Amino acid sequence: MQQLVFATNNRHKLDEVADKIKGQIALLTLNDIGCHDDIEETGFTFHANASIKSHLIYHKYHLNCFGDDSGLEIDALNGEPGVFSARYAGKHGDHEANINKVLINLKNETNRKARFKTVISLMWEGKEHFFEGTVEGTIRHEKSGDEGFGYDPIFEPDGYAVTFAEMSLAEKNKISHRAKAVEKLVAFLSAV
| Calpha distance 190→188 (Å, rounded) | 5
Residue of 15, 32, 37, 69 marked catalytic: 69
CB of 30 closer than 8 Å to CB of 36: yes
Q: Which residues pair with 155 in a beta bridge?
A: 139
Cis peptide before 81 (omega within 30 of 0): yes
| Calpha distance 89→170 (Å, rounded) | 29
Strand order in the sheet with 155-157: 26-28, 3-6, 65-74, 113-124, 127-139, 155-157
Kind and range of the H or E element at 118? strand 113-124
CB of 17 closer than 8 Å to CB of 27: yes
Q: Tell me whether residue 152 is one of the annotated catalytic residues.
A: no
User: Coil, strand, or helix at residue 61?
Assistant: helix
The bridge status of strand 3-6 relative to strand 26-28 is parallel
Select from 43, 87, 70 the least CA-distant residue to 148: 70
The residues assigned a catalytic role are: 69
